[in-house]
Amino acid sequence: MPWWVWLVLVLFMLMMIVSGIVYACLHGYHAFKDVAKLGECAAKRIDAMGKQFPRQNENDTPFFTRPLQDAADRYANAHAEVIERREAKRNRHAQQWAQWRHFND
């Protein structure tokens, strides 16, 4: 084989090696960014789990000694929270289905 064929083959090999390294570096960089976002999101959630809820100064006397209106108010507040949680769940599901519906558009 003539010398220039070997030169072309060597240059082609070097070009493929360099392009493979560039390809691997770019994909590694993008994967690193995705993992960093995931770690940041997980860190925020873990930090939020460590925080305590603010406590209201409620009456600490036994519940049966308080007026009936206290129990009714407490029940109404608890039921309102249940309804809010159900509505929030329904909204999250609707948003997710809307996103999935238009995923391949």
Residues 6+ apart with CB under 8 A from 71: 63
pTM for this entry:
0.43
Distance CA 65, CA 82 (A): 26
CA distances 59 to 52, 55, 63, 68, 79, Å, are 20, 12, 9, 14, 20
pLDDT tens digits, 26-54? 999 999 999 999 999 999 999 988 888 77
pLDDT tens digits, 45-93? 999 888 887 776 666 778 788 888 988 999 999 999 999 999 999 999 9
> DSSP class of residue 60?
-
